[in-house]
């Protein structure tokens, strides 16, 4: 089920054209939801994808390799200074904050920074989404999935304020709804989508289909 919420309309209307980037954020209960989502995305998915999943140290590299073996899209752990390429899932490594930066020549690159603020989560979904909002503005989609706490809520709000688009996992399909629910409470979510429908809805939104 897709439920449209009353987020304030800003920027390019949803469905008005193709999107260039998707940022996924998840925490508690996230790995199986993320795996299903990525497995269901089509081979010709044209946007670049950044993924931040809260995990223990050392797990993201192995998980990225596993995802690469079961998904139609290429999946890899993000490299500092690497190009944020379309059709690839770039997984944020544990222990560094991942940011997307638009360079002077227009290319978007990946930056990995040490944490100097004693952040609760490293990498932070808020930081990743906020950087993507600056890099892509109205031509991006932020997706917040199951998780405890509130990481990602402010990032979703930053995306909306930059004219970008947002959706979150529905309460009835999330193991932990506090992360998506925090974004809903801020008025930062346009659509709430069940886990089973998420891949199809994301694919449509990236293609500019409402």
The pLDDT value given to residue 128: 98
Domains of the chain: 19-205 (3.40.50.180)
The pLDDT value given to residue 56: 87
Among residues 54, 90, 121, 165, the one annotated as catalytic is: 54
The pLDDT value given to residue 210: 74
Instruction: Enumerate residue ranges in the chain where pLDDT < 50.
Output: none
Q: Tens digit of pLDDT for each residue in 55-74?
A: 988 899 999 999 999 999 99
The pLDDT value given to residue 146: 98
Q: Tens digit of pLDDT for each residue in 190-208?
A: 999 999 999 999 999 999 9
Q: Is 102 helix (H, G, I), strand (E, B) or coil?
A: strand
Q: How many Å apart are CA 80 and CA 84, to the nearest integer?
A: 10
Q: How many helices (H) and strands (E) does the chain have?
A: 6, 10
The pLDDT value given to residue 117: 73
Specify whether the CB–CB gap between 83 and 51 falls below 8 A.
no
Among residues 20, 130, 131, 151, the one annotated as catalytic is: 151
Q: Tens digit of pLDDT for each residue in 7-28?
A: 555 665 666 669 999 999 999 9
Using the structure block, give the residue that is written with the tokens 């906020």. 130
pTM of the model: 0.93
Residue 97 is a catalytic residue? no
């Amino acid at each position: 089920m897709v439920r449209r919420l009353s987020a304030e309309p800003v920027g390019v209307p949803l469905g008005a054209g193709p999107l260039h980037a998707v940022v996924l954020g998840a925490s508690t209960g996230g790995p199986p939801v993320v795996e299903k989502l990525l497995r269901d995305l089509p081979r010709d998915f044209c946007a670049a994808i950044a993924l931040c999943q809260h995990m223990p140290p050392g797990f993201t590299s192995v998980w990225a390799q596993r995802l690469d073996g079961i998904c139609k899209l290429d999946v890899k752990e993000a490299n500092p200074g690497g190009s944020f390429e379309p059709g690839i899932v770039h997984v944020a490594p544990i222990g560094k904050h991942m940011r997307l930066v638009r360079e002077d020549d227009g290319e978007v690159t990946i930056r990995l920074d040490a944490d100097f603020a004693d952040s609760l989560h490293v990498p932070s979904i808020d930081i990743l989404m906020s950087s993507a909002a600056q890099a892509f503005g109205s031509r991006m989609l932020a997706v917040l999935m199951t998780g405890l706490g509130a990481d990602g809520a402010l990032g979703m709000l930053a995306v909306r304020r930059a004219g970008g688009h947002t959706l979150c996992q529905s309460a009835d399909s999330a193991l932990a709804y506090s992360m998506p629910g925090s974004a809903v409470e801020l008025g930062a979510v346009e659509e709430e989508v069940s886990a089973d429908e998420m891949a199809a809805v994301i694919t449509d939104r990236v293609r500019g289909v409402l």
